[in-house]
């Protein structure tokens, strides 16, 4: 009954158009009333405690770092670097988009920010060169979800805080799956563009390649600093976020000299607004998670999936199908915040590696960013690419299919995650 009340109120108020954070609070309030445990002081205390987390401090700094990189010229230089490497190949601009997506992923950790930045620069170039607008927009949207998988990753931080799993291990575990998605997109792009009549850019000379590499060097160096620092235990993920923001500011002001005072004000205000949304969601989810524990909802879920508990593979398939379906109707952050406290007792009881599950869970939720009607990355790409939802779905399906196949591959072969993780963290 408690599960029915929680889900019923949550879905009901969301259907009425209430924002997710307030819907979470409403469902928590309904549970408190049903359990005859209403206490406004406890509600307020859990709401404050939800944001009172040192690892969550990484989120505003990574968001700020992404904003500073975009206005500081790092994004443009990385795209020019990728263009110098593969622009002369048939379909080269598509490969540029994929390479840039992987490189951007090591800078900001935000799918929406990376998609918007890449789409604004590359879609006009691709259309002018004769590429299909729908397919080009679909490719950039599909590449955008690499950002929350390769470190630094904001969703990994949220999952780590919600589940108690090491954020550093989650970061390290996301590297290989993120690169696999990039490789999968390369293969899919080669297949769909092989017969297209598109413009091929002149091959760059070694001198020009060296020049673009030198220009992009400071942007390419940041992911190395973050990964090496985390791997060596030099700093925590939260400290890495502060370093990333400070580094982006120094590069933008003193090396590229593109960040002015008015740009800095805009970056700070934009980051503050985005952070407030995420942190309020996290706080509201903490209230719901606490009440779900009090109402014994995780135990109810665990009992419901008990028939699958003896078969880890079958259990993972069932959970991932569930998450995939939820992802079509709910955004990434609230899905992680709502489902993590419900699913983790099941995962722990079944003896599944929580870090490995975290990678699958985040990747699955990222795929949800590309599924209508809620898919936020899909909507951002449509807006920047100036096409409708029907049009982008015609162009994105080969790339979306590849990403689902990689998810299935990771479910069938856990060693693709666990073996690299062992070497990166040992």
Over residues 292-342, the pLDDT tens digits come to 777 776 666 667 776 777 788 998 998 898 888 877 767 788 888 888 888
Mean pLDDT of 122-126: 86
pLDDT the model gives residue 410: 96
pLDDT the model gives residue 356: 96
The answer to which of 62-71, 296-305, 407-416 has the lowest mean pLDDT is 296-305
**Mean of pLDDT over the chain:** 84
pLDDT higher than threshold 80 for residue 165: yes
47: closest CA among 37, 35, 39? 39
pLDDT the model gives residue 277: 78
pLDDT higher than threshold 80 for residue 51: no
Contacts 24+ apart (CB under 8 A), 237-241: 237/55, 237/58, 237/152, 237/157, 237/167, 237/168, 237/171, 238/54, 238/55, 238/57, 238/58, 238/61, 240/58, 240/152, 241/57, 241/58, 241/59, 241/60, 241/61, 241/62, 241/65, 241/152
pLDDT higher than threshold 90 for residue 286: no
């Amino acid at each position: 009954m408690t599960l029915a009340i929680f889900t019923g109120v949550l879905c009901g108020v969301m259907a009425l158009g209430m924002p997710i954070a307030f819907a979470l609070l409403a469902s928590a309030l309904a549970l408190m009333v049903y359990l005859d445990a209403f206490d406004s002081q406890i509600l307020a205390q859990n709401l404050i405690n939800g944001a009172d987390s040192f690892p969550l401090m990484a989120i505003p700094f990574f968001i700020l770092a992404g904003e500073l990189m975009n206005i500081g010229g790092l994004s443009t230089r990385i795209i020019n670097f990728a263009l110098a490497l593969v622009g002369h190949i048939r379909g080269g601009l598509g490969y540029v988009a994929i390479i840039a997506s992987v490189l951007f992923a090591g800078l900001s950790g935000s799918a929406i920010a990376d998609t918007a930045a890449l789409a604004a620069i590359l879609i006009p170039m691709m259309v002018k060169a004769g590429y299909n607008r729908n397919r080009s927009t679909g490719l950039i949207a599909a590449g955008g979800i690499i950002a929350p998988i390769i470190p630094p990753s904001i969703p990994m931080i949220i999952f780590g805080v919600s589940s108690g799993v090491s954020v550093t291990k989650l970061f390290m575990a996301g590297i290989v799956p993120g690169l696999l998605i990039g490789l999968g997109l390369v293969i899919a792009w080669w297949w769909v563009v092989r017969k297209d009549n598109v413009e091929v850019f002149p091959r760059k000379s070694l001198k020009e390649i060296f020049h673009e590499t030198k220009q992009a060097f400071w942007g390419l160096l940041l992911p190395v600093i973050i990964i090496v620092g985390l791997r060596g235990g030099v700093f925590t993920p939260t400290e890495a976020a502060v370093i990333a923001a400070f580094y982006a500011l120094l590069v933008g002001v003193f090396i590229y000299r593109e960040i002015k005072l008015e740009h800095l004000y805009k970056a700070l205000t934009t980051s503050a607004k985005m952070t407030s949304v995420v942190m309020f969601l996290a706080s509201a989810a903490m209230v719901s998670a606490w009440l779900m524990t009090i109402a014994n909802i995780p135990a109810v879920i665990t009992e419901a999936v008990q028939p699958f508990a003896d078969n880890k593979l079958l259990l993972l398939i069932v959970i991932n199908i569930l998450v995939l379906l939820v992802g079509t109707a709910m955004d990434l952050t609230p899905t992680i915040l709502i489902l993590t406290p419900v699913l983790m007792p099941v995962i722990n009881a079944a003896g599944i590696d929580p870090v490995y599950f975290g990678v699958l869970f985040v990747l699955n939720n990222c795929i949800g960013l590309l599924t209508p009607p809620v898919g936020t990355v899909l909507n951002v790409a449509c807006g920047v690419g100036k096409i409708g939802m029907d049009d982008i779905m015609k162009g994105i399906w080969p790339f979306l299919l590849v990403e689902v196949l990689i998810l299935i591959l990771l479910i069938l072969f856990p060693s693709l995650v666990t073996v690299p993780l062992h070497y990166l963290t040992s």
